[in-house]
Structure 1
Amino acid sequence: MSTDAPSDSLSASGVTPTIHGRGVERLDAVVDLVHALARPRPLTDLLDEVPRRVAAVFRSDVCSLYLREGDGLVMRGNVGFTTSALGEVRLGPGEGLVGMAVECLRPVSADIAPDHARFRPFSMLGEERFPAFLAIPVPGPHGAAGALVVQRRQGAYSASDVELLMALGGAIAPLLERARIVASSPTPTNHPRPTGTRRVTIPGRSLFAGRALGILSAVGRPSPRASTADAKASARDQAKALERALHSCEATLDSHARAAERRGIDASFLTLTRTILDDARLSERTLELAKGRGLGHALAQVAREATRAARITDVPMITERAMEMSELCDALRAILSHEEAPAVPKGAVWVGETLTVFELLLAARSHPAALVLSGPVGPGKVRAIVELIGVPTVCEAAGIYNWASDGDVALVDGDHGLVRVNPSRRERDEARVERGVPTGDDGSPAG
Structure 2
Amino acid sequence: MPKLETLRKIVQEVDSAETLDDALVLIVKRIRSAMSTHVCSVYLFDKDLQAFVLMATEGLHQKSVGQVSIPLHEGLVGLVGQRAEPLNLDDAAQHPQFRYFEETGEERFKSFLGVPIIHQRRVLGVLIVQQREQRKFDEGDEAFLVTMSAQLAGIIAHAEATVGIYSSTNQTETVGSESKYDGIAASPGVAIGVGVVMAPPADLTTVPQKTISEDKIALEIERFQAALKQVRRDIRAVGRTLSKRLRKDEAALFDVYLRMLDDNALPGEVISLIEDGQWAQGALCAVAMEHIRQFSLMDDPYLRERATDIRDLGRRVLSYLQEEASAEPKQFPPHTILIAEEVTPAMLGEVPPESLVGLVSVLGSSNSHAAILARSMGIPTLMGAVDLPMTQLDGQDLVLDGYMGRVFVNASKDLRHYYELIIAEERQLVVGLEAIRDLPAETLDGRSIPLWVNTAMGADVNRSLERGAEGIGLYRTEVPFMIRESFPTEAEQVQSYRVQLESFAPRSVTMRTLDIGGDKALPYFPIEEDNPFLGWRGIRVTLDHPEIFKVQVRAMLKASIGLDNLRIMLPMVSYVGEVIEAKRLINDALNELRDEGLPIARPALGVMIEVPAAVYQARDIARHVDFLSVGSNDLTQYLLAVDRNNPRVAGLYHSYHPAVLQALRCVVEEGHKEGVQVSICGEMAGDPGGAVLLMAMGYDVLSMSPIHLPKVKAAIRAVKYAEACAMLDNVMQLLDPKAVEEAIYTLLYDAGVGRLGNRRNLEAG
User: Where on the TM-score scale, by shorter chain, does this alignment land: which range?
Assistant: 0.3 to 0.5
Max Rg structure: 2
Q: Of the two structures, which has the highest relative contact order with CA contacts closer than 8 Å and spacing of 6 or more? A: 1
Of Structure 1 and Structure 2, which has the larger fraction of its residues in helix?
2
TM-score by length of 2: 0.23
